[in-house]
Chains A and B, each alone.
Chain A
Amino acid sequence: MTKTLVVYLMAMPDTPALAQAAVEAGADVVELGFPFSDPLADGPVIRRAGERALAAGMRTARCLEVLAETRSRVGVPLIPMTYSSIFDAYGWERLESDARAAGATSLIVADLPSDVRPELRRVQLVAPTSTDARLKLAADSTDGWLYLVTVTGTTGARAELAPSLAPLAQRVRAITGVPLYAGFGISTPEHARAAAELVDGIVVGSAAVAAAESGPAELSALVASLRAGLDAAG
């Protein structure tokens, strides 16, 4: 079965064009980061991208416009990813509703554990530290697929695919049939290929953000190489 490639991009004025380039190069889903001043789950690459986005005026209303522009260019699922403070300020229900109206397929809130505000339909995250009870809670409430955080740590490229992914994937498989996509630390075709043996898809964040800063051509090349890595998996 074909594995799913999720690409994360920080919301910027040029993101619709970048998202289109990523999709044309083989991305199946695009996550759109709505920047937050204090992103606890993010490593240096996404943190700096967030600082630049805020400096460029990418506040919530502008991010929603970029989401809508991206939706007009690509047909794949689009998933805003942000932090609780953004929702809390905009209004939880209002942001969910406005994001869906602008073309969001689902949502991800990096600092909102699955038992908090369960009424917000979203892709839930689980981590190597999650207990089986929490894996089940997240799997039962997740929206479409479950986000497996491969590492105990923040976002950012690593040299190797985290050894903690395999046991986590095995534990989650025993609990749920929902698709499992792994992210955090996945940046190369080799990582993609290795992860594809364990899960149904991968999320590439920091590496995509770094490539996107160099332009659509670099992003396309990265996405195509990741696509090839995924497709090469048995």
Chain B
Amino acid sequence: MSSYGEYGGRYVPETLIPALDELESAWASLRDDDAFHAELHGLRTNYAGRPTPLTRVERFAPDQRIYLKREDLMHTGSHKLNNALGQALIAQRLGKHRIIAETGAGQHGVATATVCARFGLECIVYMGSEDIRRQAPNVERMKLLGAEVRPVEFGTRTLKEATSEAIRDWIANVETTYYLIGSCVGPAPYPEIVRELQRVIGREAREQFIDAEGRLPEAVVACVGGGSNAIGMFYDFIPDEDVRLIGVEAAGAASLSSGRSGVLHGARSSLLADEDGQIMDAHSISAGLDYPGVGPEHAYLRDTGRAEYLTCTDDEAVAAFHRLCETEGIVPALESSHALARALDCGSELVAVCLSGRGDKDLAEVLAQ
């Protein structure tokens, strides 16, 4: 499927179309290929540390039954590795040895640098200079893993510009290079590939929740920047019509809650854009949510009413961050803290939250508040 209702598609320069066709055709054969899935499963189990646990947080939420899907406990500390591992296997099948990626918070950059080290691939990560400043530990990790981190010095100096620059690199080097995109955004077939690789989160969480509670949750909550942990967490719950799917955006980067339709980074979706179609700046304390676009499938889930999208302010996220640290001994990523804040007041009692990453990278930003 290359589009989600009126969203998705391939709005890219012609230069990239043959590479997208090649990727689509490789993906079409791999998605049903037993050997591919066996290799991926082996890596998830023996390298990444899946399945990740589902943790009840009684002290954090004494009046509810909230469970956290612990993607923070996976290798590299966030859900991003699910996607990077799968796409690294695809790149290998395509014979591409130069990998490029964009990163905001640095979690996807670290995951990409990790798989490139693991498979012996060249790795170049584009990162806005503002994000390099506020996510210094992840920059050091990427370098330690052998990646080259290229600062992007124009525009907002954040994830939007890093993504544009990665796409420009891809346009210039498309014959040798695999673009390992980090979220369920970009031209088709990327949104579908990323969703399929992240689906493991919701598949595991659904089974684990039933084991723990003997029933499905009333609500499933995840933070949404580009939306990859959310689409992965939501997807296997979509047929469960009584389960609320709640995406939480940063209040200053609410592409779904306050955006309009438009075209960015190769896909039509809901965006922060002005009435002329110029993309506006997003603002969030969390670098991973600081993006004016969102995956096209989320725009579709919003329009069809299957998922609801709420917002969370910087202050609310920081408060939830502290609360989880102090009540449960878990340091969440600032991104995931947005989901935690809304899980507490979403009005449902039985809740599964995707704790998409750990917060070590955010200590300096939080302590500076």
CB-CB contacts of A19-55 with B at 8 A, as 1s and 0s? 0000000000000000011101101000100010010
Confirm or deny: A84 has a beta carbon within 8 angstroms of a beta carbon on chain B: yes
B-facing residues in A213-229 (Cβ within 8 Å): none
Instruction: List chain A residues, Cβ under 8 A from B14.
Output: 113-114, 124-127, 129-130, 134, 138, 149
Main secondary structure of the interface of A (DSSP, over half): loop
Confirm or deny: A83 has a beta carbon within 8 angstroms of a beta carbon on chain B: yes
CB-CB contacts of B227-261 with A at 8 A, as 1s and 0s? 00000000000000000000000000000000011
The answer to whether B263 touches A84 (Cβ under 8 A) is yes
CB-CB contacts of B101-142 with A at 8 A, as 1s and 0s? 000000000000000000000000000000000000000000
The answer to whether A47 touches B154 (Cβ under 8 A) is yes
Q: Give bound CA distance, A90 to B276, whole Å.
A: 6
- Are A89 and B262 also in contact (CB < 8 A) when A40-B167, A84-B11, A111-B11 are? yes
The answer to whether A154 touches B171 (Cβ under 8 A) is yes
Q: Give bound CA distance, A196 to B255, whole Å.
A: 47
Name the distance in Å between B200's Cβ and chain A's nearest Cβ.
Answer: 31
Confirm or deny: B305 has a beta carbon within 8 angstroms of a beta carbon on chain A: no
Nearest CB in chain A to that of B18: its residue: A129
Nearest CB in chain B to that of A128: its residue: B15
Residue of A37, A83, A88 near B261 (CB, 8 A) is A88
- Interface size, A (range): 35 or more
Number of A-B contacts (CB under 8 A): 115
The answer to whether B172 touches A89 (Cβ under 8 A) is no
Q: Give bound CA distance, A149 to B15, whole Å.
A: 8
The answer to whether B13 touches A41 (Cβ under 8 A) is yes
The answer to whether A127 touches B13 (Cβ under 8 A) is yes
The answer to whether B279 touches A38 (Cβ under 8 A) is yes
The answer to whether A130 touches B154 (Cβ under 8 A) is no
Confirm or deny: A72 has a beta carbon within 8 angstroms of a beta carbon on chain B: no
The answer to whether B278 touches A113 (Cβ under 8 A) is no
Instruction: List chain B residues, Cβ under 8 A from A112.
Output: 11
Confirm or deny: B53 has a beta carbon within 8 angstroms of a beta carbon on chain A: no
Instruction: List chain B residues, Cβ under 8 A from A105.
Output: none
Confirm or deny: B347 has a beta carbon within 8 angstroms of a beta carbon on chain A: no
- Are A40 and B171 also in contact (CB < 8 A) when A86-B277, A89-B276 are? yes
Name the distance in Å between A36's Cβ and chain B's nearest Cβ.
Answer: 7
CB-CB contacts of B50-86 with A at 8 A, as 1s and 0s? 0000000000000000000000000000000000000
The answer to whether B279 touches A85 (Cβ under 8 A) is yes
Instruction: List chain B residues, Cβ under 8 A from A159.
Output: none
Confirm or deny: B174 has a beta carbon within 8 angstroms of a beta carbon on chain A: yes
The answer to whether A88 touches B278 (Cβ under 8 A) is no
CB-CB contacts of A184-220 with B at 8 A, as 1s and 0s? 0000000000000000000000000000000000000
Binding site for A on B (CB under 8 A): 9-19, 21, 154-155, 160, 164, 167-168, 171-175, 260-266, 268, 273-279
